Copies of this chain bind each other. A is one copy, B any other.
Amino acid sequence: MKKSLLAAGMALAMASGAALAQVKPDVLVKQRQAVMTLQGKYFGPIAGMASGKVSPYNADVVSRNATYLENLAQMPWDGFQPSTKDVKSAALPAVWEQNAKFTELADRLQAETGKLAQAARARDEAGVKAQFGAVGKVCGACHQDFRMKQ
- Asked if A15 and B34 sit within 8 Å, CB to CB, the answer is no
29 sample A-B contacts, Cβ–Cβ < 8 Å, listed by A number:
A6-B137, A6-B140, A7-B140, A8-B140, A8-B144, A9-B135, A9-B137, A9-B139, A10-B51, A12-B40, A12-B139, A12-B140, A12-B143, A14-B44, A14-B48, A15-B44, A16-B37, A16-B41, A16-B44, A17-B43, A17-B46, A17-B54, A18-B54, A30-B37, A31-B38, A33-B34, A34-B37, A35-B38, A67-B71
In the complex with contacts A34-B37, A53-B14, A143-B8 CB distance below 8 A: yes
- Asked if B43 and A13 sit within 8 Å, CB to CB, the answer is yes
CB-based nearest B residue for A13: B47
Task: Give chain A's interface residue range (CB within 8 Å of chain B).
Answer: 35 or more
In the bound complex, CA of A43 to CA of B14 (Å): 9
- Asked if A45 and B17 sit within 8 Å, CB to CB, the answer is yes
Q: Which residues of A contact B (CB under 8 A)?
A: 2, 4-10, 12-19, 30-31, 33-35, 37-38, 40-41, 43-48, 51, 53-54, 67-68, 71, 74-75, 133, 135-141, 143-144
Give the number of copies in the complex: 2
Neighbouring B residues of A31 by C-beta, 8 Å: 37-38, 41
In the bound complex, CA of A75 to CA of B34 (Å): 12
With both chains docked as a complex, state the minimum distance between the C-beta of A52 and any C-beta of chain B, in angstroms: 12
Partner of A68, one of B13, B30, B47, B71: B71
CB-based nearest B residue for A37: B34
